[in-house]
Structure 1
Amino acid sequence: MADDDRTPDDDLQELLRRLMNGGAIDPEQLSRMAGMPVDPATLSQMMQQFQGMFAGAQDGSISWDATKRQALHIANQDGLGVTDGQRTDLDQAFALAGLWLSEVTTLSPTAELPRAITRGQWVEQTLPVWQEVAEPVATSIADALTEALRSQVPEEMQDIVQSAGRLMRGVGGTLFATQLGQVVGKLSLEVVSGADVGIPVIPAGSAVLLPQNFAELGAGLEIPEDQLALYIAARELASARLFRHAKWLRLHILSQIDDYARGISVDTDALEEMASRLDPSNPEELRQALESGALLPQQSEAQKLALARLENLLALVEGWIDVVTADATARVPHLERIAEAIRRRRAEGGPAEDALGALVGLRLRPRRLREAAAMWRAVGDAVGIAARDSLWDYPDLMPTSEDIDDPAGLIARLEAQARGEQPEADDMDDALARLLAEEAERTEGEADRDAPASPSDDDEGHPRPEGDQPV
């Protein structure tokens, strides 16, 4: 076909084929399609980056390497590590806080020694959890982007888009993964410990502090650094003890987050409308849409129920940690000021945490923290710390939302158990008893039907009259 006979659609089809096949892109061709002169060097560099993204998405999978690169780039910008002085000071705080904790909880210390880590190390340790939390949303956005792009392509090019469906999906996932990396990287500049974000993002039983961020936190609160270090260290060790003792707890929380996240869908109308006017040279609108949560619709009823369950569970965890930490650090002069400042900081969150909530549609701050802490305080005062801490032994012993609202019933049950009394049957116990009774009757009936007939019985299983026995 002569150049004079080529149409814009012909040029676009050839461009897409070259992108998908890794071929060279002609800057003059792009300039002609755009209808304006373009600097060849700038355009060549842009297309190399664009082709690299396409090449990494050929199998349709999400490139989480992009998340790691972005997060580590932000986390390691200052290039600072942990100094020997910082490590020594925090080791001393951990040692004293551990002794104090053993006086106020029956949960045993962890075998792993607490550590001071850098922002980059925090990113490395926590990325698997962020990936697990974000993956359902990333998949939904990648799939929706594929459909939105398909709807914008002329009919004669549908065969090209159809064959490139997996590639398009991978590109959409990579865009999301890159944005997640920016959010996690910024979050690494704010957190002061492993338990700081409210969910178990570090391995169970681990306790870590980030000296770089800890120093900034102390300067902002105007609280003596050694006192703040003791409080933060006690909180981190209390969290580590809890998740080491209740080995089921970490999976329980992450499973509930997964239940919530898998109910997330993407607002395809908003995505298609944005795709129709998206300027490839200015991805700012897409970035803002991802970060603001504009592509995520309102929560469904099922999601609201899942979120309520998750918030209650997180409140129980944070409330117990608060109570135990307060008891352990009762000797600290500025305890109330420190506790209130940390509580307010957790409730408000920071810019990066707000961005994370918008990105995955989930806010990780428990709203019922004060009520849960008051419940744990009341239970400990009434039945002692051993009975209080035993509620973490098994999932079915966990306090309920009703127990948070009114601890009196839970306290009464624990007191009756201490006296050796059997707990009163509730509706669930009654229902279970009825099911077991029905099952026992059914099994007994089947056994009677399957039993061999006695020689003294007739063909229908009834006893024969005397004198009418078979010979």
Structure 2
Amino acid sequence: MGLYHSVRAVAGAGGDGPIDWTAVADAAKAATEPGDLTVGEAERDGYATDVRDARTRVRAVGELEFDLPETVEIQNRHHWIDANVATFSRVMEPIEQQAEYIPGVARVVNTGSMALALSFLGNNVLGQYDPLLLAESDAHALYFVRPNIDRVAGQLDVERDRFRRWIAFHEVTHAAEFGAAPWLSDHLEDAMEDAIENLTDGNLDRASLGELDTTMTAVEGYAELLMDRAFDDEYDDLRRKVDERRQGRGPIATLVRRFLGLGMKRQQYERGKAFFDAVADARGVGAAGRVWDSPEMLPTDDEIETPSLWLDRVDP
């Protein structure tokens, strides 16, 4: 497996649509080492304990009621790529349905771009809560990419089990958000579908994109707040080292991150966490969780910048 096989998979992209998803999966996996997935009983029990403890702590600290996803998997990188090819293809389907004749060269370029994205993410994602947006079922899933967790723990020179537990707490906070807000999946799907529909019509709907960005800022920011306040061990060194690692990436990694919009995601983390920290400091963590009562309780972009505006509106 390697670059040659990845290029060959992309070059052989076929079908009638703008992206050959089978070739995407083949190329991304050819360019990505799967990583070791030899998990002993003690380590498997460690993952299970981390997730259960995170659920207990997040429920108590966040004052939220939620259940864990039925699917909790320890994956290698190829497993993660396969799961997310399905997600990406589902999200892109409305655009693909609008596409008419697609030249072979364009299909190869599109397929190569998606393969590059999934290969990069497959090498870097540590854990993922997946609400399976735009799926036909209401199933949710929780993934841990073991080879990446082990590698990054070594790169950061931190104890692996504590790092794994920290990642588990972060992903369980996302399960808490979607569990506490049954409307959240539909809300995100509607915003995504509106934005995609406008793109297929040749329009850039800034309102839908803005609403999507604001909602994701709330999702990421609340997860950061709850992760820090529910975690039952020291985490300052973990956060500092992870931030330093992000800032110290080389030019190629930086370019790929920009292509994927990961710089925007970091802004969502930072802006959202600042908002929720301010709310929690003023009224408590339970008050911050009121954003999940209904879509109307989500902060606006102006309220994220000035949390007192949100507090005055929802809890005067």
TM-score, scaled to structure 2? 0.77
Amino acid at match of 1:321: A
Alignment match, 2:5: none
Q: Which runs of 5+ in 1 are unaligned?
A: 1-47, 144-165, 266-298, 417-471
> CA 1:169/1:364 → structure 2, altered by over 3 Å: closer, same or farther?
farther
- Residue deviations 1:109-153, cap 9 Å, x none? 32526331221221122223322455677789x76xxxxxxxxxx
Alignment of 1:355 onto 2:244:
no
Alignment of 1:243 onto 2:178:
yes
Picking from 160, 181, 201, the partner of 2:115 is 181
- Identity in percent: 22
Contact 2:10 2:24 survives alignment (8 Å): no
Alignment of 1:130 onto 2:88:
yes
Contact 2:35 2:147 survives alignment (8 Å): no
Return 390-399 or 366-375, whichever deviates more. Answer: 366-375
> CA 1:95/1:348 → structure 2, altered by over 3 Å: closer, same or farther?
farther
Contact 1:204 1:250 survives alignment (8 Å): no
Alignment of 1:116 onto 2:74:
yes
Shift of 1:232: 0.9
For 2:97 and 2:264, how far apart are their aligned partners in 1?
Answer: 21
1:234-383 maps to which residues of 2 (within 5 A)? 234-260=169-195, 302=204, 305-329=207-231, 331-333=232-234, 335-343=235-243, 354-355=255-256, 358=259, 364-383=264-283
Shift of 1:89: 2.8
Contact 1:62 1:173 survives alignment (8 Å): yes
1:164-203 maps to which residues of 2 (within 5 A)? 166=101, 168-169=102-103, 172-195=106-129
Alignment match, 1:225: 160
Contact 1:101 1:324 survives alignment (8 Å): yes
Structure (1 or 2) with the larger CA radius of gyration: 1
Alignment match, 2:3: none
For 1:69 and 1:402, how far apart are their aligned partners in 2?
Answer: 44
Amino acid at match of 2:256: A
Return 341-350 or 371-380, whichever deviates more. Answer: 341-350
> CA 1:114/1:88 → structure 2, altered by over 3 Å: closer, same or farther?
same
Shift of 1:170: 5.6
SS of residue in 2 equivalent to 1:373: helix
SS of residue in 2 equivalent to 1:332: coil
Contact 2:198 2:205 survives alignment (8 Å): yes
Contact 2:10 2:108 survives alignment (8 Å): no
Return 378-387 or 253-262, whichever deviates more. Answer: 253-262
For 1:316 and 1:380, how far apart are their aligned partners in 2?
Answer: 14
Alignment match, 1:287: none
> Over aligned residues, Cα RMSD in angstroms?
3.9
> CA 1:111/1:61 → structure 2, altered by over 3 Å: closer, same or farther?
closer
For 1:176 and 1:255, how far apart are their aligned partners in 2?
Answer: 25
Shift of 1:176: 1.2
Amino acid at match of 1:235: H
- Residue deviations 1:162-190, cap 9 Å, x none? xxxx4x53663344124312320232011
Q: Which runs of 5+ in 2 are unaligned?
A: 1-7
Picking from 76, 80, 85, the partner of 2:36 is 80
> CA 1:318/1:215 → structure 2, altered by over 3 Å: closer, same or farther?
same
Alignment match, 1:467: none
For 1:127 and 1:363, how far apart are their aligned partners in 2?
Answer: 22
Shift of 1:365: 1.3
Amino acid at match of 2:55: G
Contact 1:71 1:181 survives alignment (8 Å): yes
Amino acid at match of 2:241: A
For 1:50 and 1:118, how far apart are their aligned partners in 2?
Answer: 22
Amino acid at match of 1:83: V
For 2:22 and 2:206, how far apart are their aligned partners in 1?
Answer: 32
- Residue deviations 1:273-298, cap 9 Å, x none? xxxxxxxxxxxxxxxxxxxxxxxxxx
Q: Compare relative contact order (CA 8 Å, sep 6+) and give the higher one, 1 or 2.
A: 2
